[in-house]
């Protein structure tokens, strides 16, 4: 790969150019120079909710996520690519993916969403292997389980929060087969269909299991032997013996040898692990069972009589695919399985085993499903980036090579106690949710709290002649533990916006002193400082205060009433400023005295993040989508991606942005898919972006 380092004024451009130069040179030789190009740089892994292998082509594997995105693999899970999105809802949890046994290009997926005023979801159809999707019924129903009849794949059964539904034409038409408004046959979690008779259906609810023998005309409770109030999370039927049914519940794993009439609890799995979202049988030997639990993967070689854990304790397993051996591969009783096991987890992504579960390793190449909430880049080390991830086993990850490899930097920090990360001249600094700051000590490879708040202890009588004047006030030092909302740096000072006001440190965060800006103490939500520290811009109580003399004097500024108050203010030039408000983005061209709402292409909706460069302004919308301006906010264009597989990202949320100084390359933190490097055109024309693959 060709390497190139451009003399950018700031370090972010250096590492981005170093990493992408070769890929972009090749890409731009093929596509017009105005094309927008994207590069996924990880970190890999994330939350997997659905996982399935194509029975006709076991090397084709699909997974679904918590935002409707569908990923695919053409090598049995070794590598992944983002295909598309099932439905338009960004909070749609994919609960199942079915593959048409007659046409491997046709997929059906079910989703459910938890809306502010109720639940939603539906069933969706793709005829191009997951790239594009359309509604296939049950719109508005929160579908938490979807299965097909083994003896007639055209029959689909869907379990939703409001009952059980059936389609006899593979999703074209649907009918309810459970009583409407039934107090028990609702809140479905799992389904299974008899392998020989599609009229026999098992349904697991939030409260015990049910069965129908006549396609839903009548239902019977089948919970004898189960602990009452068991949430039945999964069901599995032995294909060689339909009388044998397995059920996992919050009270344990059960087996029935008479089609659910009587259940016996299977022993051997500790109580803490008994929430089992998924049960699977080895297709080569049905006596081998796998139980994916909230505390790892368990395996039984004797039909569930005994169990052993074959994974780490901290794996929360949501889905499991057992791929049978390829044709021609011999098996024996001593080694009944020579295929592949794929495990979909809540935080670790996909784990893979080729030896029946004895050993696993991550298999997340191309699967980037991380929610980035904060970004920082080290200007002294151009390839060094840090990211804060939500809902991750490693909440802080860093790369020293522009995203090719990542490592955890979370030792000593609780994930819930991390708000934002910053790059200071002394290294990485984290604002803690509990208040105060932590600094990463690279020599000790650990985080430590920093900062003392300087204040007066009052007048203390002292004797003159001992280095003090009589009646001098002593300086008190207390831990700097106030909640920090924002942090910014000048060449000679750090400034912190906190719930207790504005603070400044002139010794790299060791000592902090209040910097008054009002007669009374007010919280500060946002702070920005010029490089020399003379110009300060803060937001307090939904109003702005500007200082041009390092905080000695302040001027109050307000947005128009319809703005709903300001949330954040940014420098954009000697007399230009941007303000993020509750109703959109506002621009001032006269040092903050008058403001106008940004229009001409930018929707009038809340903005989640902005970044300002000399030639490029970038705004990410809270509702999803990226917009850029090359004429200082006069006109705006949407970053578009109209070619599959990247259309799925066009409406994604991007809560974290960094732009290098030449205003061509952008580091984008996605709300779901990790980090991307985006190269924007230098003309304001709206063009379509195409993905550049690693």
| pLDDT value at 274 more than 70 | no
Q: What is the pLDDT of residue 517?
A: 94
Please check the confidence at residue 41 and state whether its pLDDT lies above 50.
Answer: yes
Delineate the domains of the chain, giving CATH numbers in brackets.
135-327+337-368 (2.130.10.10)
Q: Is the pLDDT of residue 229 over 80?
A: no
Average pLDDT rounded to a whole number, residues 682-689:
39
- Over residues 604-656, the pLDDT tens digits come to 888 888 888 878 888 988 888 889 898 999 999 888 754 334 455 566 777 77
Size (the chain), residues: 694
| pLDDT number for residue 393 | 80
The vertex-401 CA angle with 669 and 343, nearest 5°, equals: 65
Angle at alpha carbon of residue 602, lines to 601 and 605, rounded to 5°: 145
506-559 confidence digits (pLDDT tens): 999 999 999 999 988 899 999 999 999 999 999 998 899 999 999 999 999 999
Residue 327 has pLDDT above 70, yes or no: no
Kindly report the number of other CB atoms within 10 A of residue 5's CB atom.
12
Q: 116, 114, 140: which is closest to 124 by C-alpha?
A: 140
The pLDDT score that the predictor gives to residue 467 is 47
Range in 334-338, 674-678, 679-683 with the lowest mean pLDDT: 334-338
Whether 3 shows a pLDDT value over 50: the answer reads: no
Is it the case that residue 2 has pLDDT exceeding 60? no
> Residue 413's pLDDT is what?
87
Summarised one tens digit per residue, pLDDT across range 343-367 is 999 989 999 999 989 999 999 999 9
Per-residue pLDDT reduced to its tens digit, 416-431? 899 999 999 889 999 9
Q: For 547-612, give the DSSP string.
A: ESSTTSS-EEE---GGG--EEEEEE-SSS-EEEEETTEEEEESSTTSS-EE--SS--SS-EEEEEE
Distance, in Å, from the CA atom of 345 to the CA atom of 348, rounded to the nearest integer, reads: 6
- Which pLDDT value is given to residue 182? 93
Helix (H) or strand (E) holding 331: none
Over residues 475-482, the mean pLDDT reads 87
Phi, psi of 607 (to 5 degrees): -110, 135
Q: Round to whole Å and give the CA distance between 551 and 600.
A: 35
What is the average pLDDT across 388-410?
88
pLDDT at residue 338, rounded to an integer: 57
CA angle 395, 399, 400 (to 5 degrees): 150
**What b/e sequence results for 112-150 when a residue is b if at least 16 CB atoms lie within 10 Å of its CB, and e otherwise?**
bbeeeeebbbbbbbbeebbbbbeebbbeebbbbbbbbbb
Q: What is the largest CA-CA distance in the chain?
A: 101
Say if residue 464's pLDDT is above 50.
Answer: no
> Mean pLDDT for the chain?
84
Q: Per-residue pLDDT tens for 233-255?
A: 999 999 999 999 999 988 888 99
Please, is 520 exposed, middle or buried when counting C-beta atoms within 10 Å of its C-beta (0-12, 13-18, 19+)? exposed
DSSP 417: G
Q: What is the pTM of this model?
A: 0.80
Judge whether residue 76 has pLDDT over 50: yes
Indicate the pLDDT class of residue 666, thresholds 50, 70 and 90.
confident
pLDDT tens for each residue of 486-496: 999 999 999 99
- DSSP string covering 374-389: EEEE-TTSTT-EEEEE
- What does each C-alpha distance from 594 to 278, 590, 615 come to in angstroms? 59, 7, 23
Name residue 166's beta-bridge partners: 157, 175
DSSP of 504-533:
EESSTTSEEEE---SSS-----EEEE-TTS
Residue 352 neighbours by CB distance under 10 Å = 18
What's 76's DSSP letter? T
Backbone Cα Rg of the chain = 29
The more confidently predicted of residues 598 and 336 is 598
CA angle 235, 240, 245 (to 5 degrees): 25
Q: For 178-204, write each residue's pLDDT tens digit.
A: 999 999 999 999 999 999 999 999 999
Among 82-86, 156-160, 424-428, 460-464, where is mean pLDDT lowest? 460-464
Is pLDDT at 70 greater than 60 in this prediction? yes
Which of 252-256, 325-329, 547-551, 574-578 is the least confident region? 325-329
pLDDT at 270: 65
Separation of CA 112 from chain center: 17
Contact yes or no for 283/272 (Cβ under 8 A): no
């Amino acid at each position: 790969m060709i390497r190139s380092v451009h003399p950018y004024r700031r370090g972010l451009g250096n590492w981005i150019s170093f990493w992408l130069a070769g890929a972009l040179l090749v890409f731009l030789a093929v596509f017009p120079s105005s094309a927008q190009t994207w590069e996924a740089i990880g970190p890999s892994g994330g939350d997997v909710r659905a996982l399935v292998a194509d029975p006709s082509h076991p090397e084709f594997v699909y997974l679904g996520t918590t935002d409707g995105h569908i990923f695919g693999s053409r090598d049995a899970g070794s590598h992944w690519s983002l295909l598309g999105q099932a439905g338009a809802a960004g909070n749609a949890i994919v609960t199942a993916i079915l593959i048409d046994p007659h046409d491997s290009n046709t997929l059906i997926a079910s989703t459910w969403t938890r809306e502010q005023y109720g639940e939603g979801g539906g069933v969706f159809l793709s005829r191009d292997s997951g790239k594009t999707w359309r509604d296939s019924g049950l719109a508005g129903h929160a579908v938490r389980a979807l299965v097909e009849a083994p003896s007639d794949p055209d029959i689909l059964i869907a379990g939703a929060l409001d009952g059980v539904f059936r389609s006899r034409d593979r999703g074209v038409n649907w009918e309810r087969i459970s009583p409407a408004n039934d107090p028990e046959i609702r809140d479905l979690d799992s389904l299974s269909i008899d392998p020989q008779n599609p009229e026999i259906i098992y349904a697991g609810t939030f409260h015990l299991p049910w069965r129908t023998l006549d396609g839903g005309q009548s239902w019977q409770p089948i919970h004898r032997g189960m602990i009452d109030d068991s949430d039945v999370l999964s069901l599995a039927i032995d294909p060689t013996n339909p009388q044998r049914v397995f059920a996992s519940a919050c009270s344990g794993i059960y087996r029935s040898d008479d089609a659910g009439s009587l259940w016996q609890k299977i022993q051997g799995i500790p109580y803490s692990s008994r929430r089992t979202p998924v049960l699977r049988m080895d297709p080569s030997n049905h006596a081998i069972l796998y139980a994916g639990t909230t505390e790892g993967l368990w395996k039984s070689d004797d039909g569930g009589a005994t169990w052993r854990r074959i994974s780490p304790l901290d794996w929360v397993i949501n889905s499991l695919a057992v791929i049978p051996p390829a044709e021609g591969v011999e098996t024996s009783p001593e080694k009944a399985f020579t295929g592949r096991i794929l495990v979909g987890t809540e935080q670790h992504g996909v784990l893979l085993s080729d030896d029946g579960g004895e050993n696993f390793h991550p298999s997340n190449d191309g699967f980037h499903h991380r929610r980035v909430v904060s970004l920082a880049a080290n200007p002294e080390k151009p390839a060094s980036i840090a990211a804060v991830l939500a809902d991750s086993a490693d909440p802080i990850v860093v790369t020293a090579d522009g995203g090719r490899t990542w490592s955890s930097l979370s030792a000593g920090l609780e994930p819930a106690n991390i708000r934002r990360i910053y790059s200071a001249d002394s290294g990485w600094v984290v604002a803690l949710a509990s208040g105060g700051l932590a600094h990463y000590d690279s020599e000790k490879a650990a985080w430590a709290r920093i900062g003392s708040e300087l204040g007066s202890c009052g007048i203390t009588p002292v004797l003159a002649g001992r280095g003090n004047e009589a009646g001098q006030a002593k300086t008190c030092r207390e831990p700097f533990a106030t909640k920090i909302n924002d942090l910014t740096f000048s060449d000679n000072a750090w400034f912190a916006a906190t719930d207790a006001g504005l603070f400044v440190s002139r010794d790299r965060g060791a000592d902090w002193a209040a910097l008054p800006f009002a007669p009374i103490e007010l919280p500060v939500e946002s702070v920005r400082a010029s490089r020399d520290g003379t110009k300060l811009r803060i937001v307090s109580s939904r109003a702005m205060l500007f200082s041009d003399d390092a905080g000695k004097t302040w001027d109050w500024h307000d947005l128009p009433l319809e703005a709903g108050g300001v949330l954040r203010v940014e420098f954009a030039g000697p007399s230009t400023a941007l303000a993020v408000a509750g109703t959109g983005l506002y621009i001032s061209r006269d040092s903050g005295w008058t403001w106008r709402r940004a229009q001409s292409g930018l929707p009038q909706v809340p903005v989640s993040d902005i970044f300002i460069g000399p030639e490029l302004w970038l705004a990410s919308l809270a509702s999803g989508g990226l917009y850029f301006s090359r004429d200082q906010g006069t006109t705006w264009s949407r970053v578009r991606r109209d070619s599959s597989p990247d259309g799925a990202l066009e409406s994604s949320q991007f809560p974290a942005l960094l732009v290098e100084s030449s205003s061509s390359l952008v580091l984008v933190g996605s709300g779901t898919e990790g980090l991307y490097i985006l190269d924007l055109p230098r003309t304001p024309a709206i063009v379509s972006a195409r993905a550049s693959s690693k």
